Structure 1
Amino acid sequence: MSALAAAAPRRRTSAWRAFLRDREGLSGLIVLTLFGLVAIFASVLADPAGLEVTKADGPLAAAPSWDYPLGTDHAGRSVLTMVIHGSQVTLLVGLAATVISMLLGTLIGITSGHFQGLFGGALNRFTEWFLVIPYLPLAIVLATVFPADVPKLIAVIIVIGVTSWSGTARLVRAQTLAIEARPYLERARALGGGHWHQMTRHVLPNVMPLVLANTTLTVSIAIIAETTLSFLGLGDPLRVSWGRVLDEAYALGAIDRGAWWWVLGPGVAVVLVVRAFNMCGRALERILDPRLEGRS
């Protein structure tokens, strides 16, 4: 047991070095690090007062210039300032919703794969029910009927989290079924290991690499979902996010007025972050699954 414990840090170090040697994964990590720093130091990079319409002093719907690199909106607010501060809400919602999605997907996936019979079958049917329902309409309905006394930001996080777990559960269940057929699980059952012991000590450690790789891909889905809900007017109206900036630009006819810069900033930010998470996820898949090595 001590030998296994000593080997674990070496395996993690080896995986980290392999990730750093992967150009695609390293590029994605650099982009995510930059956006993470922007979100953390948003108040230092741009004055939060610039988000308030009453305190905006820039020209109305002005094109990009030295003073306003990404131009201004209809109220004279700097689009760059809104993109910087919008990164906080967008990344927070994406990461928090992914945590909920991963917890639900891993728990339901392992449980449905471990338990056979009526209980496991019912969980599997429940997962399939979520898979066949169109994701976006379900999220829109849940966001619309969510209790009004719950903060809108919390509601969006919960809605995205509880509607995006089914894909993870399906993957984890398939991996659990493969692990359940291995000899060491039979020995654990023969030695009297209970269900909790089998799932936490044998199944969970073996499905974690799959969960880790799938997490980075799910974050990108959650960010797109937050942007979509905010664009449809279902986000938090009191907080600036990339989706809300795009919603305001669309509602006020930015494209018709030729104010392309109003949608360029938040649009490019969403594309870069989503692409970076996908790049990291693909790199992790190649590292954790040697069969994918050499594939693009």
Structure 2
Amino acid sequence: MDKGRWQQYWHVFQSSRLGSIGAGIILLYLVVAIAAPLVAPFDAEERVAQPFLQPGGDYLLGTNDVGQDIFSEMVFGTRVSLLIGILAAFLSILVGCLVGIVAGYFGGKTDSILMRLVDLVLVVPFLPLMILLAAFIGPSFWNLILVISILSWASPARVIRSQVLTVKTKGFVEAARSIGSSVPTIMGRHILPGVVPIALSQFVMAASHAILIEASLSFLGLGDPLNKSWGTILYYAQARNAFLTDAWVWWVLPPGVMITALVIGFAFTGYSLEEIFNPRLRKG
């Protein structure tokens, strides 16, 4: 795709209010995640005060049941939750692109087999499958990413396949075939650039879903106990009966707000990108 087209996309994105807000939220979280040791006043694993200390003074969100600073847990949890979301989204989009491009380009039996596989993944009840896979594979950082990717690749694959069906009928693709270009060359030089924009918007939406899935699995006790994410913070809060005391105000509510705000940021950015890459969705 030529440089001028990407400059046009960037200009439209800058004029999008939702896109600017969403990108600003994501950028803020990225800064917090990268600078977590500088932002957090304490080590997330360190016992710094009495258990169940209310917010105030050096402890902005109080302490948990073992005396760890909840604000520091939140800051370091940003790094874990965001990293899982981005890596899982990247892997799911990578698989989705591979399946979508192969199915759309070759068509025929290859397309039928791959699309039936996509239909099978999409038709299976999501929540039971998610819990079953997470419990079977076991709790760990990379297993979480694997589970989320297994559950998230099918929808992008279908969208990307539709885009490939459109791109492969273009004149430049037909010209490449007529001069004897190899299949890898056609896919790499002509098909792939045509699906990158839609894959980018799908990646943003997949990251949003991945963060929600990670929080849900961790809250159910199926997350990685060695890495504190927002979901594991909620899990320990529930396990220590924070919902039955006033501790839920500073132990449960902040992680929930953090998850919600980041998902909204990804959603705003994803909607804006879909509007940019699909002219039919643009206003005016």
Q: Aligning the two structures, in what range does the TM-score lie when normalised by the shorter sequence?
A: over 0.9
Look up the match of 1:35: 29
5 Å-filtered alignment, 1:1-296, equals 8-47=2-41, 49=43, 51-52=44-45, 55-146=46-137, 152-259=140-247, 260-294=249-283
Q: Which amino acid aligns with 1:246?
A: L
CA-atom RMSD in angstroms = 1.8
SS in 2 for 1:184: helix
Q: Within 2, Cα distance between the matches of 1:219 and 1:118? A: 31
Deviation per CA, 1:142-162: give whole Å up to 9, x if none: 22222x6xx810111111112
- Shift of residue 67, structure 1, vs aligned partner: 2.6
Distance 1:70-1:47 versus aligned 2 partners, 3 A rule: closer
Distance 1:261-1:48 versus aligned 2 partners, 3 A rule: closer
Q: Which amino acid aligns with 1:221?
A: H
Contact 2:47/2:67 (<8 A) preserved: yes
Unpaired runs of at least 5, structure 2? none
* Segment of structure 1 superposing worse, 15-24 or 87-96: 15-24
Q: Which amino acid aligns with 1:108?
A: V
Q: Within 1, Cα distance between the matches of 2:201 and 2:229? A: 26
Distance 1:195-1:284 versus aligned 2 partners, 3 A rule: same
Q: Within 2, Cα distance between the matches of 1:69 and 1:241? A: 18
Q: Within 1, Cα distance between the matches of 2:6 and 2:173? A: 24
Deviation per CA, 1:218-271: give whole Å up to 9, x if none: 100000011111111111111110000001111111111122221111110000
Q: Which amino acid aligns with 2:3?
A: P
- Shift of residue 138, structure 1, vs aligned partner: 2.1
Q: Within 2, Cα distance between the matches of 1:40 and 1:228? A: 24
Deviation per CA, 1:179-198: give whole Å up to 9, x if none: 22333333332322332222
Distance 1:96-1:167 versus aligned 2 partners, 3 A rule: same
Contact 1:135/1:164 (<8 A) preserved: no
SS in 1 for 2:71: helix
Q: Which amino acid aligns with 1:201?
A: R
Q: Within 1, Cα distance between the matches of 2:32 and 2:153? A: 29
Q: Which amino acid aligns with 1:169?
A: A
TM-score in terms of structure 1 length: 0.90
Q: Which amino acid aligns with 1:199?
A: M
- Shift of residue 21, structure 1, vs aligned partner: 2.0
SS in 1 for 2:243: coil
SS in 1 for 2:242: coil
TM-score in terms of structure 2 length: 0.93
Deviation per CA, 1:50-89: give whole Å up to 9, x if none: x23xx42323223322332222212222211110010111
- Shift of residue 121, structure 1, vs aligned partner: 1.1
Q: Which amino acid aligns with 1:95?
A: I
Contact 2:48/2:69 (<8 A) preserved: no
Q: How many residues align?
A: 283
Q: Between the two proteins, what is the percent identity of the paired residues?
A: 38
- Shift of residue 48, structure 1, vs aligned partner: 5.0
Q: Within 1, Cα distance between the matches of 2:127 and 2:182? A: 39
- Shift of residue 47, structure 1, vs aligned partner: 4.6
